[in-house]
Structure 1
Amino acid sequence: MNDLIPLVNKLQDVFNTIGSETVDLPQIIVVGSQSSGKSSVLENIVQRDFLPRGNGIITRRPLVLQLVNISQSDDSTTQEYGEFLHAPAQKFTDFVEIRKEIEAETARVAGQNKGISKSPIHLKIFSSKVLNLTLVDLPGLTKIPVGDQPTDIEKQTRNLILDYITKPNSIILAVSPANVDLVNSESLKLAKQVDSEGRRTIGVLTKLDLMDAGTNALDILTGRVYPLKLGFIGVVNRSQHDIATNKPMTEALKAEVEFFKHHPAYRSISSRCGTPFLAKTLNIILMNHIRERLPDMKARINALISQTQQELGLYGDGALTGKAQKAALILKLLNKFALDFMASIDGTAEEISTKELSGGARIYYIFNNVFGAALDSIQPGYNLSIQDIRTAIRNSTGPRPFLFVPEIAFDLLVRPQIQLLEPPSIRCVELVYEELIKICHNCGSKQELDQFPRLHAKLLEVVSDLLRERLPPTTEYVESLVAIQRAYINTNHPDFIGGGGAISDIVKQNEKKRRDVEKHQRRTANLSNASHNEKATNGLTSSSRDDALETSSNSDLYTDSHMRDYSLNGISSGSNSWSQRESFLTYFFGSGNKADRTVIPDQGSSGRSSVYSKAIPMDMDELEKKFDSTSLSDDNSNLTEREQMEAQLIRSLITSYFNIVRKTIQDLVPKSIMHLLVNYSREAVQNRLVSELYKEELFSDLLQEDENLANERQKCKTMLDVYKKAFEIINEAM
């Protein structure tokens, strides 16, 4: 039992070497408000003046105080001394110097402005007058900032105290002054937050000698007011006058004993009051607490050893000294990177994302969804107006009239439409290239490549260069696919609608429109006539009604015949007009209408004036201006029936041929990209990496470790050694 507290002190020393508190060690946390007397309690336990004193917050950093009992030698000359963790080679035999060192170390870290710091000061005191204890003195609780204290000093102090007392292995030493109502005790209030049942809180009542006459704290000390499992202990500290006059500690302790022996309220419990009893009680409580927590501590340290070993494995051993080792590691990483690149494209990678498409699946999505949608969104001829088509037809015939719709005009108009397929095709190449670059950045073992950042950078550089080399030829080939389609317009393609098919479709469309219009007009006329006849027959005889009905029937026949005599969208179908065959000949083999021919003036010998003689001659310049300003304007109302038909025919032919080329491009572009870019890079990546990077003169540079990672590995090794040492200490004790 007596070795348990030194055991924890050893563990504390071990963990202090790494500045880590990963293991919750059993220790006593001293909590109290300012002027509650907690510093005096600690000094009485040590029986030495060693803590800074003054107004305001004096304890501004946690003080981890390890009390080590040393055997007194036979000649009683054993000297007491203190050691600080930050000055391990120095022994402080003068406790005034210990106080000064605490003040200096506090100011060094926490500054001069009365602020606090979480960084602890570790002090060991070796003495034959102390029992083995581990105590942590924390800043006193305060309500109002004084002087140059931070405005949130209360919040900072509370958070610091809670950080310590929340740990389940800590024992809370709640110091409260007896001359203040216990319900106002800040230390007990904080202890209640983290230890609601009072299982690991021990109360200390100070300033019992300063209570008002006729009052006492017997009910509190006996547990009748505020029950705690570990109870309350009363102490009497030195007064401010005693401290000012340097009253010896031995005399102060004797005076405390006398106070409890002769006080009428406390003499019955005097054996359970005073500083010696407090020190002994804390020693027993701490030892029992350590004994209970030792198995959990051992399990915790064992788990930390396992975790640290795994973490160290991720960092690697860092012991690559021989060329053979370096060569083997380089080759392993190159092959792993290349295999990961290929697996990502094939969809056989070990780690497949469930959040987004990547690798080969993303390339497939680009081909079928992105590229396909881009091609489908192109509407052939959307940028062609009727005037564009008219101009192309006229320009393609030169000075000659044309009998047929010129095929050259179709070629001129369809080539720019095919060119519209090039931008989305080039963009498809770029998107696949970008996805391959992204695949490249996600390849390889992250831990190993993070260990060697230069190797990782070189891997990315080599593969990126390979992909960049393949981008221009792939782009050029895709451009050539569109250029090939523009180079030769194959109107003999089996899927091409052709002139006859286009005319047939147009005729069907126009016939349907004509029938719809005639049907609508007949329905309107019948309704009108029926209404009129109904009104007329109301005042007629039956014979007159029959005549009216006959007249109505004749009117319907007239309307139907009359409507058929008018052309619809350039097609005339009346009984007195051309037949359908004659219409086609008229529109596509030249005009048969005399009104379209040039009228040659006829002047007989009789000198009678013809039609020409009555006409007013027009200047040629005016005719040219009129042609430029009206015949090629955007006003479609000026178009003849033939011109409308020609535009409709050209549009139909362009759409048919464009759809053929679009299907071809949609099929060939993905195939070309896969062959020239994706598959080529996939098959060449491993050879390229080996040829570029597997060179002996590059090994040392490529395997140069990241400095931060090397530091982390060293830190991990140190922690592993500490945990193993702590585990050995616990094993020896158990």
Structure 2
Amino acid sequence: MEDLIPVVNRLQDVFNTVGQDQIDLPQIVVVGSQSSGKSSVLENLVGRDFLPRGTGIVTRRPLVLQLVNVPKRKPSRRPQSSETTDTNEGAPASEGDEEFPERAQFLHLPDRQFSDFGEVRLEIQRETERLAGDNKGICHTPIHLKITSPHVLNLTLVDLPGLTKIPVGDQPTDIEMQTRDLVMEYITKPNSVILAVSPANVDLVNSESLKLARDVDPDGRRTLGVVTKIDLMDGGTNALDILTGRVFPLRLGFVGIVNRSQQDTLAAKPIQEALKFEREFFRKEPVYRAIANRCGTSHLSKILNQVLMNHIREKLPDIKTKINALISQTEQELASYGAPALAGQGNPATLFLRLLTQFSNQYNSSIEGNGTDLGTTELCGGARLYYIFNNIYGAALDSINPCANLTDHDIRMAIRNSTGPRPSLFVPELAFELLVKPQIKCLESPSQRCVQLAYEELMKICQSCGSKELQKYPRLYAKVIEVVSDLLRERVAPTVQYVESLISIQRSYINTNHPDFIGGSGALVDLQRKAEAKKRESYASARSHRSAGYDDPADMDDHGGVSDSDSANLAGRVRPHPARGSLSLPYRPHSVAGVHSQARSNAPPSGDKFLNYFFGGGKTDSMFLGDDVKRPSLPIPNRVKESNTPSISLPGDEDVMHELTSRFDQSCDTNPDRDQLETELIRSLISSYFGIVRKCIQDLVPKAIMHLLVNFTREILQNRLVETLYKDVLMEELLQEDESLIAERTKCESMLEVYRKAFAIISEAP
């Protein structure tokens, strides 16, 4: 049992060498408010004056105090034979043996031992001010002090700053919270025994130390109470009820202490005399005579030694288990850092090639989606490329309006400008091409953006690749990323150029014979459907609002829309041209202008009934001429047939073209219905052709990106890495490990050595 505390002290020395408190070792934590007598209790236990004194907060750093008991005498150094040594082993010390001197040693001064405890006090003050400053601040870094003496029992104590309420002088305003947090940091550890110091001349219910102890140890299993200043209590009062546990019960009980007064301290009264006065006080005082053997510093030292040994014996198996677990964890961490650079790796060239191959394979696996470290929170790699192609790029193309920024005025100006100095007989095909090409150009920007997004995703894949082994060599890893980044940048420009060329190819030739193109007939039918739908809506509105003035729904045909018979007649006679899918709109020659003047006067077209005007609506069937007027048979003018102006030919036979020609107005300048019809036809044709081009571009751009950017880099990546980096002059430089990694490995090796030493020490414990 006596060897348990030295075992813990040795463990503490081992762990202190690494400067970290990796394990909760059993120790006694001294807690009390300012001026409660904590320092005097510790000095009584040591038997020496060694702690700083003063007003206000003096202890500003935790003091870990190890008390090591040594024999009163050590054998004198005189030569002895081996036989004599064996014979005298275990014999009592002779009179010539030397007495062990009392020594003090700080952890931060391992090569210096103090025999003058006045110097120990000064060193504590200097070390406190070194980290905590001279403004009464608190520092959590402890001071480690070991005292070896034949007059002490084996103990490990931690002296903490005194609890305070109000900052005094130059103390920080939050001094109460600072001291409380520091105390809680130590007493919350389950392996700590709490030594709660309370003055007897203050009501116990106001004891801050007992209050904090109860917060962390409500059952009082590891709390020992110390009542100081019993000799200073008011006359007629005593601490018997407190010491016997009737006021505040604790499992470990209370111990009464009589310390030196402030006057004794200033007068430098020896501690031995103070201890003698303490023994006499409890033996002579009638109130405490019955419990005198359970009071005083001597009893406190013995009970602390016994409590600490029992606590160590109880916690030792858990400590051993935890140290064993720390050894296993540290070994795994050390294995993750790998062996030192080139140590046990064989030929550096082999290692170099293996690292480059691993990176290349990981890059390809990320794109293919068969890697081992696929994420589950977001799309990445090849899945992200698919999302870019089908969702982001597709949505961007679908959001483009085929006739964006294309007003009716722009369309009419394009039609007029494409006819030159001559009036047009038909809607010129040149106007359609002139208008549709800028719209196709709108597909270029989202296509370029698609290339950029794919490039950015490949860069992310590149940055996320790299095994832990490769990342051990930061210079090599940085060079690999640089080579891959350069390769990707090289391929972006050709890919963008090719995508732009795809748009230019579509603009270079407008194929109006495309099987999916709506053509002129389709555009007319589409406009006819819209007109019929509008007529049905007007008819339904008239029926619900009789007040509009149309008692007979049949009268609607006389005032707007297209009659059912004429609609069927037109739909049957307008057929696609066998050679072209375009549209021809007739221009009525001046020679027949007079013939049709009466028709125009009898049935003037309105803006929203242009189909009536061109195709014959209502009850008139002959260009609005009436039943008594015979339609003249006029040939198509030669200037129409010989015109070199590109036009969209009318699908169908010459009779349909002649009829439409005879029905058309003399000039678009004087006929807004013709302008409206031409505008709507051009819009319909642009939308149809733009949809064809958009579908084609949406299919070709992702294929071009995959071929020119993604697959190309995958195929030549490893060759480019080897070609650029596999050089003898670079190999040694690139295979230099990261300095932080070397430091972490060294630290891990040190911790592993400490844990193994601690495990060996604890395994030797009885």
Tell me which interval the TM-score lies in, with the shorter structure as reference length.
0.7 to 0.9
Higher helix share: 1
Q: 1:63 to 1:481 in 2, by over 3 A?
A: same
Q: Give a deviation string over 1:466-501, Cα, whole Å, max 9, x none.
A: 111111111111111111111111111111222233
- Asked if structure 2 preserves the Cα contact closer than 8 Å seen for 1:526 and 1:556, the reply is no
Q: Give a deviation string over 1:187-207, Cα, whole Å, max 9, x none.
A: 111111111110001111111
TM-superposed deviation, 1:527: 8.5
Q: Give a deviation string over 1:588-621, Cα, whole Å, max 9, x none.
A: 7685479839xxxxxxxxxxxxxxxxxxxxxxxx
Question: Could you say which residue in structure 1 is the equivalent of 2:62?
Answer: 62
TM-superposed deviation, 1:577: 5.0
Question: Could you say which residue in structure 2 is the equivalent of 1:52?
Answer: 52
Take 2:432 and 2:751, find their aligned partners in 1: how far apart are those partners?
A: 82
Take 2:337 and 2:447, find their aligned partners in 1: how far apart are those partners?
A: 46
Question: Could you say which residue in structure 2 is the equivalent of 1:386?
Answer: 408
TM-superposed deviation, 1:215: 1.9
1:702 equivalenced with 2:717 (yes/no): no
1:476 equivalenced with 2:546 (yes/no): no
C-alpha root-mean-square deviation of aligned residues, in Å?
Answer: 2.6
The equivalent position to 2:356 in structure 1, one of 334, 340, 351, is: 334
Take 1:60 and 1:515, find their aligned partners in 2: how far apart are those partners?
A: 94
Question: Could you say which residue in structure 2 is the equivalent of 1:493?
Answer: 514
Q: What amino acid is aligned across from residue 34 of structure 2 in structure 1?
A: Q
TM-superposed deviation, 1:411: 1.7
Structure 2 length normalisation: TM-score?
0.83
Matches within 5 A, 1:4-23: 4-23=4-23
Question: Could you say which residue in structure 2 is the equivalent of 1:724?
Answer: 756
TM-superposed deviation, 1:117: 1.1
Take 1:556 and 1:199, find their aligned partners in 2: how far apart are those partners?
A: 102
Question: Could you say which residue in structure 2 is the equivalent of 1:622?
Answer: none
Matches within 5 A, 1:563-712: 565=603, 567=605, 568-569=609-610, 570-571=613-614, 572-578=616-622, 592=662, 596=666, 639-712=671-744
Take 2:44 and 2:167, find their aligned partners in 1: how far apart are those partners?
A: 29
The equivalent position to 2:465 in structure 1, one of 423, 440, 443, is: 443
Matches within 5 A, 1:217-236: 217-236=239-258
Q: 1:269 to 1:488 in 2, by over 3 A?
A: same
Q: 1:136 to 1:519 in 2, by over 3 A?
A: closer
Q: What amino acid is aligned across from residue 723 of structure 2 in structure 1?
A: S
Question: Could you say which residue in structure 1 is the equivalent of 2:193?
Answer: 171
TM-superposed deviation, 1:121: 1.0
- Asked if structure 1 preserves the Cα contact closer than 8 Å seen for 2:341 and 2:736, the reply is no
Q: 1:177 to 1:501 in 2, by over 3 A?
A: closer
SS in structure 2 at match of 1:698? helix
TM-superposed deviation, 1:168: 0.5
Take 1:8 and 1:132, find their aligned partners in 2: how far apart are those partners?
A: 10
Q: What amino acid is aligned across from residue 523 of structure 2 in structure 1?
A: A
Q: 1:76 to 1:186 in 2, by over 3 A?
A: farther
Question: Could you say which residue in structure 1 is the equivalent of 2:382?
Answer: 360
Question: Could you say which residue in structure 2 is the equivalent of 1:371?
Answer: 393
- Asked if structure 2 preserves the Cα contact closer than 8 Å seen for 1:132 and 1:283, the reply is yes
1:419 equivalenced with 2:489 (yes/no): no
Question: Could you say which residue in structure 2 is the equivalent of 1:143?
Answer: 165
Take 1:558 and 1:187, find their aligned partners in 2: how far apart are those partners?
A: 105
Question: Could you say which residue in structure 1 is the equivalent of 2:578?
Answer: none
TM-superposed deviation, 1:146: 1.3
1:281 equivalenced with 2:303 (yes/no): yes
Question: Could you say which residue in structure 2 is the equivalent of 1:200?
Answer: 222
Take 1:21 and 1:644, find their aligned partners in 2: how far apart are those partners?
A: 88
Take 1:469 and 1:595, find their aligned partners in 2: how far apart are those partners?
A: 60
Take 1:326 and 1:529, find their aligned partners in 2: how far apart are those partners?
A: 98
Matches within 5 A, 1:25-40: 25-40=25-40
Take 1:595 and 1:217, find their aligned partners in 2: how far apart are those partners?
A: 124
Structure 2 unpaired stretches of 5+: 74-94, 564-602, 625-630, 635-649
- Asked if structure 2 preserves the Cα contact closer than 8 Å seen for 1:31 and 1:172, the reply is yes
1:299 equivalenced with 2:321 (yes/no): yes
Please identify, of 395-404 and 298-307, the stretch whose mean Cα deviation from structure 2 is larger. 395-404
SS in structure 2 at match of 1:174? strand
Q: Give a deviation string over 1:215-255, Cα, whole Å, max 9, x none.
A: 21111111111111111111211222322232222222222
1:404 equivalenced with 2:474 (yes/no): no
Question: Could you say which residue in structure 1 is the equivalent of 2:335?
Answer: 313
Take 1:594 and 1:712, find their aligned partners in 2: how far apart are those partners?
A: 90
Take 2:665 and 2:518, find their aligned partners in 1: how far apart are those partners?
A: 33
TM-superposed deviation, 1:368: 0.9
Take 1:566 and 1:350, find their aligned partners in 2: how far apart are those partners?
A: 77
TM-superposed deviation, 1:334: 1.4
1:255 equivalenced with 2:277 (yes/no): yes
Structure 1 unpaired stretches of 5+: 531-554, 598-626, 632-637
SS in structure 2 at match of 1:348? coil
Q: What amino acid is aligned across from residue 704 of structure 1 in structure 2?
A: Q
Take 1:322 and 1:197, find their aligned partners in 2: how far apart are those partners?
A: 57
Take 2:143 and 2:559, find their aligned partners in 1: how far apart are those partners?
A: 114
Structure 1 length normalisation: TM-score?
0.86
The aligned length equals 671
Take 2:182 and 2:145, find their aligned partners in 1: how far apart are those partners?
A: 19
Q: What amino acid is aligned across from residue 719 of structure 1 in structure 2?
A: M
SS in structure 2 at match of 1:124? strand
Take 1:529 and 1:433, find their aligned partners in 2: how far apart are those partners?
A: 66
SS in structure 1 at match of 2:64? strand
Take 2:707 and 2:472, find their aligned partners in 1: how far apart are those partners?
A: 35
Q: 1:658 to 1:169 in 2, by over 3 A?
A: same
Q: 1:657 to 1:282 in 2, by over 3 A?
A: same
Take 2:500 and 2:238, find their aligned partners in 1: how far apart are those partners?
A: 101
Take 1:720 and 1:360, find their aligned partners in 2: how far apart are those partners?
A: 43
- Asked if structure 1 preserves the Cα contact closer than 8 Å seen for 2:345 and 2:351, the reply is no
Q: 1:642 to 1:10 in 2, by over 3 A?
A: same
Q: 1:129 to 1:732 in 2, by over 3 A?
A: same
Take 2:540 and 2:61, find their aligned partners in 1: how far apart are those partners?
A: 100
TM-superposed deviation, 1:80: 1.1
TM-superposed deviation, 1:513: 3.6
- Asked if structure 1 preserves the Cα contact closer than 8 Å seen for 2:106 and 2:144, the reply is yes
Q: 1:112 to 1:527 in 2, by over 3 A?
A: closer
Identity of aligned pairs, percent?
A: 62
TM-superposed deviation, 1:33: 1.2
Take 1:683 and 1:270, find their aligned partners in 2: how far apart are those partners?
A: 91
Q: What amino acid is aligned across from residue 490 of structure 1 in structure 2?
A: N
1:428 equivalenced with 2:498 (yes/no): no
Q: 1:557 to 1:392 in 2, by over 3 A?
A: closer
SS in structure 2 at match of 1:659? helix
Question: Could you say which residue in structure 2 is the equivalent of 1:466?
Answer: 487
Q: 1:308 to 1:588 in 2, by over 3 A?
A: farther
- Asked if structure 2 preserves the Cα contact closer than 8 Å seen for 1:334 and 1:690, the reply is yes
- Asked if structure 2 preserves the Cα contact closer than 8 Å seen for 1:66 and 1:135, the reply is yes
Q: What amino acid is aligned across from residue 399 of structure 1 in structure 2?
A: P
